[in-house]
Structure 1
């Protein structure tokens, strides 16, 4: 009787469906495991209060439409690269080495230079390491679908 739940649980863990893990993106040939922020609450929370993030991880923010965006570092404890991509998933703006901010609502915004639909946050220094340039394409792994 106790083992009836083991097979379904094992399948969930193998496919990455449990706890939303298994999503990835690829940028300039490098793959990053990402957490997805696709609703207002998860986009607002973002990477707040995290003490660290693995080198090959990030957070991908999905927006309903392409528009000018601005992110900030409120309650964010790790320096980040903030990368903005348009609907075609081409890099339109990047804010490198954005420092943590403990000023609450006084933290400065970091706007996109052009309308964007996707935002990828990576550990600071990744954009430099990858030599990212305007137009670089962001590849989405299976299961990551744009919001409609």
Structure 2
């Protein structure tokens, strides 16, 4: 379903520039998010690297084949980001803040298949904490 819709997008851009991927609309309470979906290993590796800006309600949803401890870092990422590790049902497991262009590791506290990156402090500014629930196409009810 999500995979079939997104495989039509073609390969990601070369790693020396930002990639643009198809987006899905997610809801987090009253907040709507337009999240580009990175689902292949290459798309996930590039992520939000090389972007100089991102809209206030935009982000990137990383989709993995199976649940595991997911760890992220910020090499070649110019924007400070907030990261939410998300269970299959859309429940946020943990949230962290990431500084640009660092190799610091930010990991999920439980096995997850989904990770959502937003602008820095996006979750904090809206009072969103672990336990909040995302809804939208990729999440099982």
TM range (shorter): 0.7 to 0.9
1:120 to 2:116 alignment: yes
Q: CA deviation at 1:132?
A: 1.4
Whichever of the two has the greater Rg, that structure is: 1
Between structures 1 and 2, the one with greater helix share: 1
Give per-residue Cα distances to partners, 1:52-77, cap 9 Å, x unaligned: 10111000011111111101111000
Q: Which residue of 1 aligns with 2:131?
A: 135
RMSD: 2.1
Q: Which residue of 1 aligns with 2:99?
A: 99
> Structure 2: which 5+ runs fail to align?
1-7, 10-19
Distance 2:60 2:23 in 1: 12
Q: CA deviation at 1:28?
A: 2.5
Aligned residues between the structures: 123
1:50 to 2:46 alignment: no
Using the size of structure 1 for normalisation, the TM-score is: 0.75
